[in-house]
Structure 1
Amino acid sequence: MKPMGRPMGLKRSAALMLGAACAISTLQGAGWAGKTAPAVRTDWHAFGGDSDEQHYSPLDQINQGNVKQLGLAWSYDVDTFDSYTQPIEVGGVVYFAAGLSVIHALDARTGKLLWKYDPDVAGQPEAKTRMRAGWGTRGIAYKDGMVFTATREGRLVAVDAKTGKLRWQVKTLDEAENGYITGPPWVAGDVVVTGFGGADYSPTRGYVTAYDIKTGKKRWRFYTVPGDPAKGFENKAMEAAAKTWTGEWWKFGGGGTVWHAMAYDTKYDRIYLGTGNGWPWNEKIRSPGGGDNLYLGSIVALNAKTGEYVWHYQTNPENSYDFNNAMDIELADVTINGKLRHVLIHAPKNGFFYALDRETGKFISAGEFAKQNWAKSIDPVTGKPEINPDSLYQDGKAFVIFPFPNGAHGVQAMSYSPKTGLSYIPVMDGGRVVVDPPNVKDWTYRSGMFVNTGLGAPPPGVTAPAAVSKLVAWDVAKNRAAWSIPQPGVFNGGTMATGGNLVFQGLNDGSFNAYSAQDGRSLWSYPMQNGMLAAPISYSIGGRQYVTIITGFRSSYANTPNWDYRQQQRRVLTFALGATRKLPKFTPVDAPIMDDPGFTVDVAKAKIGSGIYNTSCVICHGVGMAAGGAAPDLRKAPIPMDANAFNAVVHDGALMARGMPGFGNLSADEIEGLRHYIRQRARETMAAK
């Protein structure tokens, strides 16, 4: 942690006064002359800034004319295994949760730690299984002097914002045995709402639950897919949804988990849910007679007070992919075809940018912001897609589908600027081979938190091209791209737009950047010593504007540069005009691949280990065992060398507090097989160099 830079001098004070005068002049030009101008929001009190969730700050002290003067005001090192998380700021305090939902409160001027609250996730009995999926937490919520976090093993926790003392906590995964939570909770009026993930691993039925902000008392619960008809339906929405499913879908849970994005609409007192993919992905298994499978891959609007269904829009009927709507749901007032519309804007995984009428849920527009081939078109009137039949991989035919499961847009935040009318999307263009398993009717899932997609292995010779990335500015009113710039690698950070006509974004190459919101010109860059996935925030204290971002990178794929898990510089970094602090010098070291010449690889055991690794370990430890920052590179790790130590970590969960779950479901032969596979891959890598 470092103190803030030097105080502002007279020149800086004069510049601030000039900036304030310009702001008043702008308001007068907008029709506020002689009137009391609306207060400009100076805090960042919600995941997306405020309830509109636009990831937009109206502050303009930092702008295109002076952004080059932006410097480091302070930094705070975070002792954690995962920091893909976004902070909030309220009343001069920056709050964030990292790793296992450990909440920190920092003085926003200096970076000084005020308090820290650890909910002891690893110490909870449920953590033994629920920590096997997901990583850390992506965000928190704030309301009425309380900070809310949802823990990986399934609690919603409320903490006093001034003292860091626990106010209340409640278990929310009482009907989701294999669920887990990595997304932020969402405030909707006088309730706080949380969903969960888990619909890639086992039979899971999605739902969200609302709790009273003051007491933690359960107010309502809404299920996102229908349950067993023999048990009756909870409401008319579930009864209607059941007509769009076939077979015995409830035995598969259905999926539809709301594992990330929601938004609260103060105008209509509604909360919007972004629902997930089906379980398993392959519809031929979970709903063999077809059907739209509501409410998978949808935006669902609920009455925030009662949880009653209001409307829905489904982006992906007959969803046989990992396409879901967990990406940002942002609210805006946009003039379209000469008429002011209250719209919901959304860029989900499937590659289309959607604008919907918030009052009615009616479709307004959809346009391709990334490469996609699952749909031939979107009907401009009904909003229904014409699905490309080849994308449903019928009759055992493999298909290279775009986008890939990571999505054309993932959970890295997009932003929207009311000043430019543009939405700024971190985009990925990548494909994946999809094909049925050898016998769809005989498919069974593998228990124990293994990834279960319902897909088969890609046939020889069928591969997807290398993925690329870009930043796309989307004109919401005109339903088209305004500009696009290429970016490094595949996975880059979330964006923030500001009233200074800037777009801020951290990249996987370790640079934190400011672009022109009008045309994407690069205006400023700072070397952060780490890649970034989280979005920045901006706020003002005492008339000074700050920009804060948390560094940390993770991927299931190796990157260039590759941010080694053990060497990552996980930090909160805050910038202001005229600040001059420096980061300590950092030189990454390429750790060598380890080996024990006395260890003899048993090919049969390594084959067993390969099966375990590629269904359970690969997401964190990397494709081909080339780690991408989410977990240690096992080829370079000492623990697999020692059978007892390896068993203690993998089977018994000795490192749960550092994010490594225990896999008590694995047999001794399977764990030993993993050790042989690790050594096999290590030697193959060394031989290839």
Structure 2
Amino acid sequence: MIARSRLPLLGMLAVAALALGSFDGFGLGGAAAPEAQLLDDSSGRDWPGYGRTYGQQHFSPLAAIDQANVGTLGLAWSMDLPLGNAATQPIAVDGVVYFAAGLSVVSAVDAVSGKLLWQYDPEVGKAAGLNLRVGWGVRGVAYWQGRIYVGTQDGRLIAIDAKTGKPAWSQQTFDPKMAAYISGAPRVLGGRVLIGYGGSNGVSRGYITAYDAKTGKQLWRFHTVPGDPAKGFENEAMEMAAKTWGGEWWKFGGGGDVWNSIAYDPDLDLVYFGVGSPYPWNHRLRSQGKGDNLFIDSIVAVDGKTGKYRWHYQTVPGDTWDFDATMDIELADLEIAGKPRKVLMQAPKNGFLYVIDRTNGKLISAEPYVPVTWASKIDLATGRPVEVPGARYDQGKAATIAPSPLAAHNWLPMAFSPQTRLVYIPAVEFDVDYSEPAKDWKPATDRNTDAGANMIGGPLIGRKPPVGALIAWNPVTQKPVWRVDHPTYVNGGVLATGGDLVFQGAIDGLFKAYSARDGKVLWSYDTRAPMIAPAITYEAKGTQYVTVLTGLGMAYPKNMGALDPANAERYGLDPRSQARRVLTFAIGGKQVLPPRAPAPQPPADPGFKLDQVRFMPGAMAYTRHCGDCHGSLAVGAIQAPDLRRSPLPQDRATFVQIVREGALEAQGMPRFAELTDAQIDDIRYYLRARAAELRGQAKAPKDPDVSLHLK
């Protein structure tokens, strides 16, 4: 945390610089001059960035809503949204709520009345082309000095005037020919806008880029894995990293995308970012099973002004399980062993909660917060995991691994409360069996993931469904304080407040406020829609509000149909019947939501007969080309329609127009021009078979390769 005594001085310096017309986001002597609202100990009146402040704690000190009165919290206003990604966090500044839903369509709404002020559509569907296949929209936006910043699926970073909704500048952040997309919220840190991208569905070499927030000029770029040594290295960090790779990794790109977590310490002028998993996931295929493969699965610290490497900590050296370190990084000052420490905390996919000295990258502690089978512990002397023999599945034997690629903790943000000194983690318990792929494995070439490993989720072979929980964890003692279990693994992002409250939604549609001290449910509201987006709180005209979006999105829930089909149907996940809304709450709010809309019934299909021979090719083609957006086993759960409930598979001409010819490309449905007539008919047959199963007319065979549903 930044000392409060510095706040008035920083504010005066900023005002003085603005008066001189020279403030550019950097202070005297080149040191970063953060704005007051972005400091961790700011008032909480606004929520200007994804984690609210530089430290990304997802905490607000506002306390007008507290344990005593939260029971009277009610809906102040709501706004309906169209079909599309709703797994996104809003921000709020000066009484205006901003958010990006669907394909990065940005809206500005009056926080008190719910009136739409403006809307900006970057027309992603017209620009993204093949990259419509690999992304799902964005999770958030950022504010800085009168502008809103948003990323798009086709790789643009756009600055928008916060008053008018007109674009001020736009930068293409990656080559549109890459199989890549932006899903993370931009972060504005010291006058610099930072953004990475997601990919690893083919040749991809990750990086993070800093742009001048005023002009959009690129300031620096840091690659996360080294390129072809024959072409030289961009800097000493890449030369160092290359020594930890084997074979010809650069032909695969290496992965290491920076698709989510970014934090900043303005006193140290250090930017911290989490690096994703490698491509392919399989260490043997990627790097001949050799080396740590820096900087995959790492937290990296770089100089804020130059992007120069300062230090790193790698959570999973030589990863072979897709254990990204891209979950949110949160900064705090903790007393550990009687001494104050400046730390960063992360609960990445691999199941351990890490506490790291953010000044130098040294590990302080790490303990599992869910069951972990790939490593027995983290060695504090070396900082390395002690792997369980056989966990790497590279000796011809399968390995049962927990957590799974869906993660012990995915992108849904955790929160840290400086009042309770606890971390609140939306956690998942789930295992998967890994095994080697076929000997003739080749990397993906058509933007369809082929990770280089076969994976079968435990529930698909008789083990228990994955479960989710909200876990309150003490990062000093590395022990749980309380835990609340959820009905499924899909539980949402977390908000902690100065009223000693923790807010979280879940797939059952219940938005709850818990006691931050003991986990007791103090308030619950039926939003009448599944939800996973994190909430925010802010002040407008003297009143504290809480805002959250309902409806699903991103890839996180897509496997519900395969892993937990009963709950997928129970909670009404059909995208066309999901209520996608912006909900804003205040003490004494009285608005009432309409009832849930029923899911459409599958259309009649007279004369359809189930044919095992025809079903199998369709299952494979659907899983490879359609499942990422329309859901595993054709159970729609995210932003694309549930095709079991659609008449389109019965209408061949219209189906071809949409799928192969791109009739709905502008609305976000990618074209698949490479599909043959036979493949299209196979997919249509598969969907009709799944619809017949839903009608209760027939039981479809088991999919031939359930492992694909986790890729």
Q: TM-score, normalised by structure 1?
A: 0.91
User: 1:574 corresponds to which letter in structure 2?
Assistant: T
Name the residue aligned to 1:103. Answer: 106
What's the CA shift for 1:608?
A: 2.9
1:143-292 map, 5 Å: 143-174=144-175, 177-199=178-200, 201-292=201-292
CA pair 683-176 structure 1, distance change in 2 beyond 3 A: same
Partner of 2:409, secondary structure, is: coil
How much does 1:675 deviate? Answer: 1.0
Which structure 1 residue ranges, 5 or more long, are not aligned? 1-37
Aligned in 2, Cα 1:39/1:172: closer, same or farther, shift over 3 Å?
closer
The 3 A distance-change label for structure 1 pair 371 and 630 is farther
In the superposition, relative to structure 1, how do residues 596 and 284 fare at CA in structure 2: closer, same or farther (>3 Å)? same
Are residues 1:517 and 2:516 paired? yes
Contact 1:279 1:453 (C-alpha < 8 Å) held by counterparts: yes
Q: Deviations over 1:66-90 (max 9, x none)?
A: 1101111111112241111000001
Q: What does residue 532 of structure 1 align with?
A: 531
Whether the aligned pair in 2 keeps the contact of 1:281 and 1:320 (CA below 8 Å) is: yes
Equivalent AA in structure 2 for residue 564 of structure 1: D
2:86 maps to: 83
Structure 1 stretch 233-242 or stretch 386-395: which is displaced more? 386-395
Alignment of 1:365-380 (within 5 A): 365-380=365-380
1:339-392 alpha-carbon deviations (Å, 9 max, x no partner): 111111100111100111111011111111111111111012322101112210
Which residue identity does 1:662 align to in structure 2? Answer: R
Post-superposition CA distance 1:267-289 (Å, at most 9, x none): 21121111111111111101114
Question: How far, CA to CA, are the matches of 2:445 and 2:613 in structure 1?
Answer: 23
Q: Which residue in the other structure is 2:454 paired with?
A: 456
> How far apart, CA to CA, are the structure 2 residues paired with 1:99 and 1:114?
18
Report the alpha carbon displacement of residue 574 of structure 1 after superposing the two structures with TM.
0.7
1:568 aligned to which of 562, 567, 578 = 578
Please list the CA deviations of residues 522-560 of structure 1 after superposition, one character each: whole Å capped at 9, or x if unmatched: 000011011111110001123211111111124211423
Q: Which amino acid aligns with 1:634?
A: L
- Matched residue, 1:611: 620
SS in 1 for 2:267: coil
| Shift in CA distance, 464/223, structure 1 to aligned 2, threshold 3 Å | farther
The Cα RMSD (Å) is: 1.8
Q: 2:592 aligns with which of 567, 582, 598?
A: 582
Asked if 2 retains the 8 angstrom alpha-carbon contact of 1:433 and 1:462, the reply is no
Structure 1 letter corresponding to 2:162: A
Mapped to 2, the partners of 1:605 and 1:221 lie a distance apart of: 50
Distance 1:96 1:652 in 2: 32
Equivalent-residue separation in structure 2 for 1:648 and 1:221 (angstroms)? 41
1:650 CA drift (Å): 1.3
Report what 2:482 is aligned to: 483
Q: Does the 8 Å contact 1:471/1:485 carry over to 2?
A: yes
Distance in 2 (CA, whole Å) between partners of 1:662 and 1:371 is 41
Unpaired segments ≥5 residues, structure 2: 1-40, 562-567, 700-711
1:63 counterpart (56, 61, 66): 66
Match of 1:26 in 2: none
**Conservation of the 8 A alpha-carbon contact between 2:45 and 2:539:** yes
User: Which position in structure 2 is the counterpart of 1:114?
Assistant: 117
The answer to whether the 8 A contact 1:423-1:475 is kept is: yes
- Asked whether the 8 Å contact 1:431–1:465 carries over to 2, the reply is no
- Comparing 389-398 with 353-362, greater Cα deviation is found at 389-398
Once residues 586 and 631 of structure 1 are traced to their aligned partners in structure 2, the CA distance between those partners, rounded to angstroms, is: 22
* AA in 1 matched with 2:150: T
Paired amino acid for 1:497: A
Deviation string, structure 1 residues 288-312 (Cα, Å, up to 9, x no partner): 1421111000101111111111110
Judged with a 3 Å threshold, the aligned counterparts in structure 2 of structure 1 residues 99 and 536 are, in CA distance, closer, same or farther, namely same
Distance 1:652 1:564 in 2: 25
2:610–2:698 CA contact under 8 A, matched in 1: no
Equivalent of 2:664 in 632, 651, 655: 655
Secondary structure in 1 matching 2:661: coil
**Counterpart position of 1:445:** 443
Does structure 2 conserve the Cα–Cα contact (< 8 Å) formed by 1:602 and 1:676?
no
TM-score (norm 2): 0.88
CA distance in 2: counterparts of 1:576 and 1:74, whole angstroms: 9
User: In 2, Cα distance between the equivalents of 1:636 and 1:529?
Assistant: 20
Partner Cα separation in structure 2 for residue 626 and residue 123 of structure 1: 27
1:142 aligns with 2:143: yes
Q: How far 1:479 sits from its partner (Å)?
A: 1.4
Deviation, structure 1 residue 404: 1.0
- Whether 2:624 is the aligned partner of 1:623: answer no
Question: How many angstroms does 1:185 deviate by?
Answer: 1.1
Q: Tell me the equivalent position of 1:18.
A: none
For 1:293 and 1:634, the matched residues in 2 are separated by: 41
Q: C-alpha distance in 1, partners of 2:617/2:308?
A: 48
**Structure-to-structure mapping, 1:311-350, within 5 angstroms:** 311-350=311-350
Secondary structure at 1:494's aligned position in 2? strand
Does residue 545 of structure 1 match 2:548? no
Residue aligned with 1:470, SS? strand
Equivalents in 2 of 1:464, 1:326: separation in Å? 28
| In 1: Cα distance, 2:177 partner to 2:462 partner | 36
Q: Which residue of 2 aligns with 1:418?
A: 418
State whether residues 400 and 463 of structure 1, in contact with CA within 8 Å, keep that contact through their aligned partners in structure 2: no
Q: Distance in 2 between matches of 1:445 and 1:611?
A: 17
- Give the distance between the partners of 2:247 and 2:444, measured in 1 at CA: 20
Aligned partner of 1:167: which letter? A
In structure 2, the partner of 1:35 is none
Cα distance in 1 between the residues matched to 2:644 and 2:534: 31
1:680 to 668, 684, 689: 689
Tell me the distance in 2 between the aligned counterparts of 1:577 and 1:458.
47
Structure 1 counterpart SS, 2:126: coil
Q: Tell me which moved more, 588-597 or 327-336.
A: 588-597
Q: 2:577, 2:600 within 8 Å by CA — same for their partners in 1?
A: no
Conserved 8 A contact 2:432-2:456 = no
* Equivalenced residues, count: 646
Answer whether contact 1:81 1:658 (CA < 8 A) is retained: no
User: What do residues 18-57 of structure 1 show as CA deviations (whole Å, max 9, x unaligned)?
Assistant: xxxxxxxxxxxxxxxxxxxx86231101101111110000
In structure 1, C-alpha distance between the alignment counterparts of 2:690 and 2:590, rounded to whole Å: 46
More deviation, 637-646/291-300: 637-646
Tell me, yes or no, if the aligned pair for 2:431 and 2:457 is still in contact at 8 Å: no
Contact kept in structure 1, 2:256 and 2:297, CA below 8 Å: yes
| SS of match in other structure, 1:676 | helix
Structure 1 pair 601/487, CA: closer, same or farther in 2 (3 Å)?
closer
Q: In the alignment, which residue of structure 2 is the partner of 1:664?
A: 673
Q: Give CA-to-partner distance per residue, 1:415-449, whole Å, 9 cap, x none.
A: 0000000010111100111000132xx32123211
Q: Distance in 2 between matches of 1:682 and 1:551?
A: 27
Residue 505 of structure 1 corresponds to 504
Tell me: CA distance 1:528–1:457, structure 2 relative to 1, closer, same or farther (3 Å): closer
8 Å Cα contact 2:512-2:521 kept in structure 1: yes
Q: Is the 8 A contact 1:187 1:264 kept in 2?
A: no
SS of 1:396's equivalent in the other structure is coil
Separation in 2, partners of 1:188, 1:566? 38
Which residue of structure 2 aligns with residue 52 of structure 1?
55
- In structure 2, what is the Cα distance between the partners aligned to 1:255 and 1:446? 13
- Are the counterparts in 2 of residues 433 and 463 from structure 1 also a CA contact under 8 Å? no
